[in-house]
Structure 1
Amino acid sequence: MSKLTRAVQTFLFTAMAFAAQASQGTANPSSEFDPALTGRISMDGSIISSACDIDTGDGYQEISMPGETRGHIKRTGEGEPQDFSIQLTHCALDPSAEPASWQYINIIFDGQDEDGLFRVSGNASGIALELKDSQGNVIHPGEPTPWQQSTVTNNRLDYRFTLKNTVRNLVVGDYSAIIRYRIEYF
């Protein structure tokens, strides 16, 4: 072997020895870990049936309010109420039941707020829509309804809109409102 080959081999052998020694000095065996810094994650889950569908008979639910006279609204402060329902169908949350029972539900109705009522648009003014649930509780825009218990046998949610006089000047004309809702249930 030449002197150069021997020198390269010696250099490589020495470098490998130092590298092995350095790695042993920095390695932490598992007994040196702080037990307070360890943890465990447990996961589980299930595959469920599809959630409820909303049966409106159409892609959008349209409610026609009864015609009102300016005099009636000025005298009573409100128009005639208009009932409507949200019908839930094909509800299934429990993987063993068809359809499954869910127990609690609430709804958030979103729309433009006018002093706790739903603002209307159009050329009529001085009016807004009041929304109540089947127990007569007023529902305010953007606020969730109280959780209520429900059953599989009756998935119909009943509500009532009433046209209300506001502090603005009452002007006759057409009006409309778009109110979105989000249903939460478990």
Structure 2
Amino acid sequence: MKMSKIVLALSLGMTLVTAAHAEVKDQGHGTVHFVGSIIDAPCSIDPDSVDQTIKMGAISNAALKDGGRSEPVDFKILLTQCDVSTLTDGVTVTFSGSPSTGNAELLGITGSASGASIALIDGAGSPIKLGEASVARPLVDGSNEMDFAAFLQGDAGASAAIVPGSFTSVANFTLSYN
């Protein structure tokens, strides 16, 4: 009886080993690409902050006439793993991109829409001019969230007709630690 239990246990073990080494059936496959960069900085940039798409919405041309503006749409840049032991003044952010023909301090739009520009503001509601560093923000060790918002602003002036249509724009940001 004891011998049959040993034989049964060995048979079961061999069956499990054989099943574990059986070829895996390919029922679909793919590839995962990993991309990123190593930066010389006291903070890492959260992956969701590196490449963002901000949906501005469907904005009425009536809201933009005579320099009017849309409701601000919030976005943020999240910094992680910060070591602020060497910082004295924190971090500034400079946004760059194609300037608007209506106002060089604002971001231009492309597409079938025209007569408006994208304005950027910081978390306190202060304007951020395109190509100029923001006010320095203090940082703490660990994670830091930098809040911003963008809104569409109608170009002022008699020749600034608001033309309905779709638009896109790209702003790059550069961080500078002090």
Q: Shared fold (TM-score greater than 0.5)? A: yes
TM-score, L = length of structure 1: 0.63
CA distance in structure 1 between the aligned counterparts of 2:60 and 2:144, rounded to whole angstroms: 35
**Structure 2 partner of 1:107:** 93
**Structure 1 partner of 2:168:** 176
Q: Which amino acid aligns with 1:107?
A: V
Which of 40, 54, 59 is 1:68 aligned to? 59
The DSSP-based 3-state class of the residue aligned with 2:69 is coil
CA distance in structure 2 between the aligned counterparts of 1:160 and 1:59, rounded to whole angstroms: 16
**Structure 2 partner of 1:139:** 128
Q: Which runs of 5+ in 2 are unaligned?
A: 1-39
Shift of 1:180: 0.4
Q: Residues 185 and 59 of structure 1: is their aligned pair in 2 closer, same or farther, counting only changes over 3 Å?
A: closer
- Taking the TM superposition and a 5 Å limit, the aligned residue runs for 1:15-94 are 51-57=42-48, 60-74=51-65, 77-92=68-83, 94=85
What stretches of structure 1 move > 3 A for 4+ residues in a row? Answer: 100-103
Q: Which runs of 5+ in 1 are unaligned?
A: 1-48, 95-99
Q: Which amino acid aligns with 1:173?
A: G
CA distance in structure 2 between the aligned counterparts of 1:134 and 1:152, rounded to whole angstroms: 20
Identity in percent: 26
Higher RCO, Cα 8 Å, sep 6+: 2
Shift of 1:146: 1.8
| Aligned residue pair count | 133
Task: State which structure, 1 or 2, has the greater radius of gyration over its C-alpha atoms.
Answer: 1
Question: Could you say what the CA RMSD is over the residues aligned between the two structures, in angstroms?
Answer: 2.4
Q: Residues 79 and 56 of structure 1: is their aligned pair in 2 closer, same or farther, counting only changes over 3 Å?
A: farther
Q: Residues 164 and 182 of structure 1: is their aligned pair in 2 closer, same or farther, counting only changes over 3 Å?
A: same
**Structure 1 partner of 2:106:** 117
Shift of 1:111: 1.3
CA distance in structure 1 between the aligned counterparts of 2:43 and 2:108, rounded to whole angstroms: 29
